[in-house]
Structure 1
Amino acid sequence: MRIATSQMYNRPASMMTRLTAEADSIQMQIATGNKLLNPSDNPGAYLRLQGLKQRTADDGAYAANIGMAQGLLAQTDTTLDGVEAQLQRALELTTQASNGTLSDTNRAAIGKELDSIRDALFGLANTKDVRGQPLFGGASGDVAYVRATDGTISFAGTGEPSAIPIGEGATIQGTVTGVAAFAAGGSDMFAVLASFATALQAGGDVKAAADSAMTGIKASLESVTLARASGGARAARLELDSDRLIAAGEAREDVRSGLEDTDVTVAVTQLQKTLTILQATQASFSKLSSLTLFDYLR
Structure 2
Amino acid sequence: MRISTVTMFEQSMTSMNRQQGDFMKVGQQIASGRRVVNPSDDPQAASRAVRVSQAQAVTQQYSDARVSARNALSQQESILNSVSDAIISAKTRIVQAANGTLSDADRDSVASELRGIYETVIGQANATDGNGRYLFGGYQDGSEPFVRTPGGVNYVGDNNSREQRIDASRQMPVADNGVTIFQSVHSGAGYMAEADPANAGSATFKGPQVLDVTDPGYGNAFTIDFTVVGATTTYSVNGGPAQPYGDGAPIQFGGLSMTVKGAPADGDSFTVDRAVNMNTDLFRTFEKALAVLENPAATDAEVAALKNTVNTVMREFDNSLDNVLTTRASVGARLNELDVLDSVAGNRQLNYEQTLSDLVDLDYVEAISEYVLRQVGLQAAQKSFVDIKGMSLFDHL
Between 1 and 2, higher relative CO (CA 8 Å, sep ≥ 6) is seen in 1
Q: Deviations over 1:144-179 (max 9, x none)?
A: 21111x260121110312221111132111121111
- Answering whether residue 324 of structure 2 is matched by residue 224 of structure 1, we say yes
Conservation of the 8 A alpha-carbon contact between 1:118 and 1:193: yes
Conservation of the 8 A alpha-carbon contact between 2:52 and 2:352: yes
Q: Which region of structure 1 is more displaced relative to structure 2, 179-188 or 67-76? A: 179-188
Q: Deviations over 1:119-166 (max 9, x none)?
A: 110000000012321111112141121111x26012111031222111
Q: CA deviation at 1:259?
A: 2.4
CA-atom RMSD in angstroms: 2.0
Q: CA deviation at 1:12?
A: 4.0
From 298, 314, 319, give the equivalent of 1:214. 314
Cα distance in 1 for partners of 2:63, 2:81 equals 27
What is the correspondence of 1:179-190 to structure 2 with a 5 Å cutoff?
179-185=179-185, 186=276, 187-190=280-283
- Answering whether residue 147 of structure 2 is matched by residue 146 of structure 1, we say yes
Residue identity opposite 2:154 in structure 1: S
Residue identity opposite 1:25 in structure 2: K
1:192 aligned partner: 285
1:251 aligned partner: 351
1:34 aligned partner: 34
Cα distance in 2 for partners of 1:4, 1:132 equals 84
Conservation of the 8 A alpha-carbon contact between 2:128 and 2:134: yes
Q: CA deviation at 1:11?
A: 3.9
Cα distance in 2 for partners of 1:23, 1:263 equals 16
Larger Cα-atom Rg: 2
Percent of aligned positions that are identical: 28
Q: Which region of structure 1 is more displaced relative to structure 2, 104-113 or 120-129? A: 104-113
Conservation of the 8 A alpha-carbon contact between 1:140 and 1:159: no
Question: What TM-score results when the alignment is normalised by the length of structure 2?
Answer: 0.70
Q: How many residues align?
A: 295
Q: Which has the higher helix share?
A: 1
- Answering whether residue 74 of structure 2 is matched by residue 74 of structure 1, we say yes
Could you list the runs of 5+ residues in structure 1 that have no partner in the other structure?
A: none
2:236 aligned partner: none
Cα distance in 2 for partners of 1:88, 1:189 equals 13
Alpha carbons of 1:3 and 1:74: their partners in 2 closer, same or farther (altered >3 Å)? farther
What is the correspondence of 1:97-176 to structure 2 with a 5 Å cutoff?
97-141=97-141, 142-148=143-149, 150=150, 152-176=152-176
2:223 aligned partner: none
Q: Deviations over 1:87-131 (max 9, x none)?
A: 000001111111212111111111121111111100000000123
Q: Which region of structure 1 is more displaced relative to structure 2, 49-58 or 114-123? A: 49-58
Could you list the runs of 5+ residues in structure 2 that have no partner in the other structure?
A: 186-275, 298-302
Question: What TM-score results when the alignment is normalised by the length of structure 1?
Answer: 0.92
**Structure 1 segments (4+ residues) deviating >6 Å:** none
Cα distance in 1 for partners of 2:128, 2:361 equals 47
